[in-house]
Amino acid sequence: MKIKSVRARVFEWKGKTVPPQGNFCSNAMDLVYDNQANRHAAGKDTMNTFRFHGWTVVEVETDDGIVGLGNVALAPRIAKAIIDEYLAPLVIGQDPWDYEYLNQRMYRATHAWGRKGVGMAAISAVDIAIWDILGKSVSKPVFKLLGGRTKEKIPCYYSKLYRTDLKEMQAEAKKFLDQGFRAFKMRFGYGPAHGQQGVVENLKSVEAVREVIGYDNDLMLECYMGWNLEYAKRILPKLEKYQPRWLEEPVIADDIDGYAELNQLTSIPISGGEHEFSLYGFKQLLDRKAVSVVQYDTNRVGGITMAHKINALCESYSVPVIPHAGQMHNYHLTMSSLNCPMSEYFPVHDVEVGNELFYYIFDGDPAAENGFLQLDDHTPGLGLTLKTEYLDQFNIVE
């Protein structure tokens, strides 16, 4: 069996989207003032650069007709160009079972410019498709190739509590509490650019959600890189009474010293890794004791080949892994690792930030039932197929 072709297409959503809202989610752009209006971006939609309304879909085909599916959501047009020009020639004609060799070949050949960010994301898409081929070639799900089932089913947390009106947030939390979820992640809407009033608003939102879900359920808090070290140090002591399971990405991903200081400062575990891209990067985070929870995404870190290594690395440091964003490429890693206790979960929803766009491109992602996900022992590969229902809602770039 040899790889015959690699096809990368960009699916750009042109259908209905949820209108953006100000203070929807704190993020790294909050601190940058808008020089067009000569004012801080406070109160404006600063999430526009962090929306994923286009995905690159990769189809790797073998000479005996097996097609593996991979995907990447970062800078999709650039990812497609990288795959077409640099990565496809490295894997065509090769045996997909030599997945370690192929992963190293892609990683090292692009190392001068691709070792972080979209370069690694492009490698991830090809690697994920290769693993889909492997599973299909032996009629086994990918998680069986990675070590098999380590849990009866996967606990998952509800992850769409963005900052809106507090009553709306409470109603949303109650709805999914009633559906059996026992863990919830909410986003802060405010950061340093919003002053003390923003601190007050952040605390109000945590209190509002705790009122609904109580203290016998988990609550996670996400900053999405929207704070800085000084602000985080100021607000963390005020958050401890709400007993969060973790505080996610309080500072930008490159501030490893900031993560390390915060993780030693507070009883609240600090999480991160969504914007880390390599095995060596995660070793640096672990060596510095910068995070207490690792949250890589398989379609960013070099694919399943590298994510499997990161799982083992984190296990050796007794740091759990809870991958970013759910989705099948992450669920297979979670099912096959004892060190992955749960999954992130976004429900089917109108296109907003873009995580939900996965449902509009692919069929096969499991729906949560009573706060759990299940993978089938007999569905080969990743278990995904391309969806045709919404094709007219995409601009497809060949």
The set of catalytic residues is 324
Backbone angles phi, psi at 378, to 5 degrees: -115, 5
CA-to-CA distance for 18 and 133, rounded, in angstroms? 35
DSSP 8-state code for residue 275: T
Question: Any idea what the Cα angle at residue 6 is, between residues 75 and 303, rounded to 5°?
Answer: 55
CA-to-CA distance for 222 and 224, rounded, in angstroms? 6
Tokens of 239: 């958050």
CA-to-CA distance for 137 and 200, rounded, in angstroms? 56
Quick check: helix, strand or coil at residue 370? Answer: coil
Element (DSSP H or E) covering residue 386: strand 385-386
Backbone angles phi, psi at 188, to 5 degrees: -80, 150
Please give the C-alpha separations between residue 249 and each of 47, 219, 278, 283, in angstroms, as whole numbers.
Answer: 15, 15, 17, 17
Question: Any idea what the Cα angle at residue 278 is, between residues 230 and 298, rounded to 5°?
Answer: 100
- Pairing type for strands 372-373 and 154-161 reads antiparallel
Longest dimension (CA), the chain: 63
CA-to-CA distance for 360 and 350, rounded, in angstroms? 10
Backbone angles phi, psi at 208, to 5 degrees: -65, -40
* Residue of 237, 304, 235, 289 whose CA lies nearest to 258: 289
CA-to-CA distance for 105 and 246, rounded, in angstroms? 36
Lookup result for tokens 């490698």: 123
CA-to-CA distance for 96 and 91, rounded, in angstroms? 8
Tokens of 317: 């440091």
- Report how far apart the first and last C-alpha atoms of the chain are (Å, whole number): 26
Backbone angles phi, psi at 389, to 5 degrees: -60, -35
